């Protein structure tokens, strides 16, 4: 009789043992299936969230290293500024898709109103208003538009000539334009005001000021910041981040540099005590400081980019990338990923040991049957093949059943555990960096989904069948050592 046919007959003749083997494989298969499901889900969450975080990176002061310095070391430490030459050197690296460096300053205005959100009537203003943040750019297409932080809804972006020459042109938010009835082609005036503080009255006084006249060449609309305050709006609160961004005015860097230089020159002239202090400390009176922003080709390039940039940086500086924030907001998912790895390893080892033991016990019970096959001249390889067929057919059924049940159980268990893990941690990490995101741990949990896809099915069948094959082959050595003469005597 063909050994393949004998294998299928062996399954039906030994129904009790086949059912026991099926039950064992089904239980162990659920563990393997669940672990793989969770691994797949956490891997998908990481790639999706990092994609949403983007591939931006910047260079900032390493405040953790700064805090670790002793008071004496801090007094002796001089923190250098990041100069334009270094920014350009980093920007030429192969990992960088495009980059920009920005200089910013706050200005006021007597001719236009600043956007104060939906609850502006409740806002009480103390002192002179400096609500407009003039953000200089060097990358003419505007990096924020390229990265979809904002969208140009009317007009155009800068051209290279305007950026290089510091032409008095600006791109403002659509909400600010609507509030002040401004359109593309209109001009508006900001005031660069220099204040001094009166110790006696406790008030600020304007020493001098000059007008900054700008032509509107484009209007933008925020894409990443919430348009309202959500739940907080019920309490009369508004979204300060959105309000600040609506009052941001994009201009060439040269305009911001010129206005910053004017401000500090006039302040030093009007405040002799402050000027003497700055001179004594040897501070640079230009106060020219640029914030770099690099957009990488892929989020996966972040680690390699950081390694290459780190040696180029001055002391106490570090590379901060958008993907760094994933580690802080994805705590529950990372915990599940680690747990899944341990469960998968334990399940594979347990499967090899348990299935191997079960098969070995079954073979010992069938020692006489196997001895008869060998004594009749059946090759050992064909006898081994018969046992493999019996085990693998049952295994295929058990694995197929556990494919669905394990996936379902993994979804239910992991969802409950992650929510419990999230609820135990009450402290949310806050970032105060040029790279900011409104993504939270809730967003990570919402994107976590255990699904039944082709990738999961292939991996599960591959690992499951290979594990059972290994656990079956080991006890089959028993057959190779059988002596038919001794068995039948």
C-alpha–C-alpha distance, residues 406 and 32, integer Å = 8
C-alpha–C-alpha distance, residues 444 and 53, integer Å = 11
Which of 201, 170, 197 is closest to 186 using CA atoms? 170
Which of 109, 273, 270 is closest to 196 using CA atoms? 270
The pLDDT score that the predictor gives to residue 331 is 65
**For the ranges 145-149, 154-158, 228-232, 390-394, which has the lowest average pLDDT?**
228-232
Residue 7 has pLDDT above 60, yes or no: yes
Q: Choose the most confident range, by mean pLDDT, from 78-87, 96-105, 418-427.
A: 96-105
| pLDDT above 90 as % of the chain | 24
Which of 243, 486, 221, 223 is closest to 375 using CA atoms? 486
Residue 256: which pLDDT band, with cuts at 50, 70 and 90? very high
Query: What is the pLDDT averaged over residues 24-45?
Result: 82
**Are the CB atoms for 290 and 103 separated by under 8 Å?**
yes
The pLDDT score that the predictor gives to residue 226 is 46
Q: Is 170 left (phi over 0), alpha (psi -120 to 50) or beta?
A: beta
Task: Compare 186 and 76 and report the one with higher pLDDT.
Answer: 186
Structure tokens at 331: 């705590």
Cα 307 to Cα 61, 88, 90, 318, distances in angstroms: 16, 17, 12, 10
The pLDDT score that the predictor gives to residue 228 is 42
C-alpha–C-alpha distance, residues 267 and 259, integer Å = 12
The pLDDT score that the predictor gives to residue 281 is 59
CA atoms within 13 A on the CB side of 150: 25
Residue 283 has pLDDT above 60, yes or no: no
Residue 59 has pLDDT above 80, yes or no: yes
Residue 77: which pLDDT band, with cuts at 50, 70 and 90? confident
Residue 416 has pLDDT above 70, yes or no: no
Residue 89 has pLDDT above 50, yes or no: yes
Q: Is 316 left (phi over 0), alpha (psi -120 to 50) or beta?
A: left
- DSSP, collapsed to helix, strand or coil, labels residue 238 as coil
- Classify burial at 325, counting beta carbons within 10 Å of its beta carbon; exposed 0-12, middle 13-18, buried 19 or more: buried
C-alpha–C-alpha distance, residues 90 and 95, integer Å = 9
457-477 pLDDT tens trace:
888 888 888 888 888 887 777
Q: How many residues does the chain have?
A: 489
C-alpha–C-alpha distance, residues 476 and 388, integer Å = 9
Query: What is the pLDDT averaged over residues 137-146?
Result: 92
- Given the structure tokens 């994933």, which residue do they identify? 326
Q: Report the chain's C-alpha Rg in angstroms.
A: 35
Query: What is the pLDDT averaged over residues 17-27?
Result: 86
The pLDDT score that the predictor gives to residue 424 is 47
Please give the full DSSP string across 274-328, using - where no structure is assigned. HHHHHHHHT--TT----EEEEEES-GGGHHHHHHHHGGGSPTTEEEEEGGGGHHH
Residue 145 has pLDDT above 70, yes or no: yes
The pLDDT score that the predictor gives to residue 78 is 75
C-alpha–C-alpha distance, residues 123 and 112, integer Å = 17
Taking the CA atoms of 349, 355, 357 and 360 in sequence, report the sign of the dihedral they define.
Answer: negative
**Are the CB atoms for 34 and 410 separated by under 8 Å?**
yes
C-alpha–C-alpha distance, residues 424 and 237, integer Å = 28
The pLDDT score that the predictor gives to residue 222 is 86
The pLDDT score that the predictor gives to residue 327 is 66
Residue 72 has pLDDT above 80, yes or no: no
Task: Compare 379 and 487 and report the one with higher pLDDT.
Answer: 379
**Are the CB atoms for 386 and 374 separated by under 8 Å?**
no
**Are the CB atoms for 135 and 178 separated by under 8 Å?**
no
**Hey, what's the torsion of the CAs at 250, 252, 257, 259, to 10 degrees?**
-60
The pLDDT score that the predictor gives to residue 105 is 92
């Amino acid at each position: 009789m063909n050994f393949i046919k004998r294998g299928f007959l062996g399954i039906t003749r030994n129904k009790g043992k086949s059912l026991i083997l099926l039950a064992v494989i089904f239980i162990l298969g659920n563990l393997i299936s669940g672990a793989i499901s969770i691994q797949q889900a956490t891997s998908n969450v990481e790639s999706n969230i990092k994609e949403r975080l983007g591939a931006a990176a910047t260079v900032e002061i390493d405040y953790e290293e700064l805090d670790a310095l002793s008071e004496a070391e801090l007094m002796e430490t001089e923190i250098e500024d990041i100069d334009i030459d270094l920014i350009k050197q980093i920007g030429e690296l192969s990992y960088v898709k495009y980059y920009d460096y920005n200089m910013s300053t706050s200005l006021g205005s007597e001719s236009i109103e600043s956007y104060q959100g939906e609850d502006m009537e409740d806002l009480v203003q103390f002192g002179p208003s400096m609500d407009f943040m003039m953000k200089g750019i060097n990358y003419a297409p505007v990096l924020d538009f390229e990265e979809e932080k904002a969208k140009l809804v009317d007009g155009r972006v800068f051209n290279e000539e305007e950026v290089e020459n510091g032409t008095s042109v600006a791109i403002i938010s659509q909400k600010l334009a609507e509030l002040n009835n401004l359109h593309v082609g209109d001009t508006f005036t900001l005031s660069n005001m220099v204040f001094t503080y009166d110790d006696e009255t406790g008030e600020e006084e304007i020493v001098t000021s000059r007008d900054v006249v700008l032509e509107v060449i484009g209007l933008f609309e925020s894409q990443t910041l919430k348009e309202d305050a959500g739940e907080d709006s019920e309490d009369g609160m508004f979204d300060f981040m959105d309000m600040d961004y609506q009052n941001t005015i994009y201009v060439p860097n040269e305009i911001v540099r010129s206005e910053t230089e004017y401000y500090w020159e006039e302040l030093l002239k009007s405040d002799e005590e402050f000027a003497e202090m700055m001179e004594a400390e040897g501070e640079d009176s230009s106060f020219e400081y640029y914030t770099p922003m690099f957009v990488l080709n892929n989020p996966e390039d972040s680690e390699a980019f950081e390694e290459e940039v780190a040696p180029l940086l001055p002391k106490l500086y570090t590379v901060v990338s958008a993907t760094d924030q994933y580690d802080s907001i994805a705590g529950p998912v990372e915990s599940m990923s680690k747990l899944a790895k341990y469960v998968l390893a334990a399940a594979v080892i347990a499967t090899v040991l348990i299935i191997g033991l079960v098969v070995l016990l079954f073979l010992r019970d069938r020692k006489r049957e196997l001895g008869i096959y060998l004594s009749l001249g059946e090759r050992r390889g064909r006898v081994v093949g018969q046992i493999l067929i019996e085990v693998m057919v049952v295994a295929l059924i058990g694995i197929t059943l556990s494919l669905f049940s394990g996936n379902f159980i993994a979804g239910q268990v992991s969802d409950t555990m992650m929510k419990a893990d999230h609820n135990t941690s009450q402290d949310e990490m806050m970032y105060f960096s040029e790279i900011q995101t409104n993504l939270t741990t809730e967003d990570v949990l919402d994107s976590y989904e255990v699904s039944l896809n082709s990738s999961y099915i292939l991996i599960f069948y591959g690992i499951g069948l290979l594990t059972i094959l290994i656990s079956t082959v080991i006890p089959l050595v028993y057959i190779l050592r059988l002596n038919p003469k001794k068995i039948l005597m």
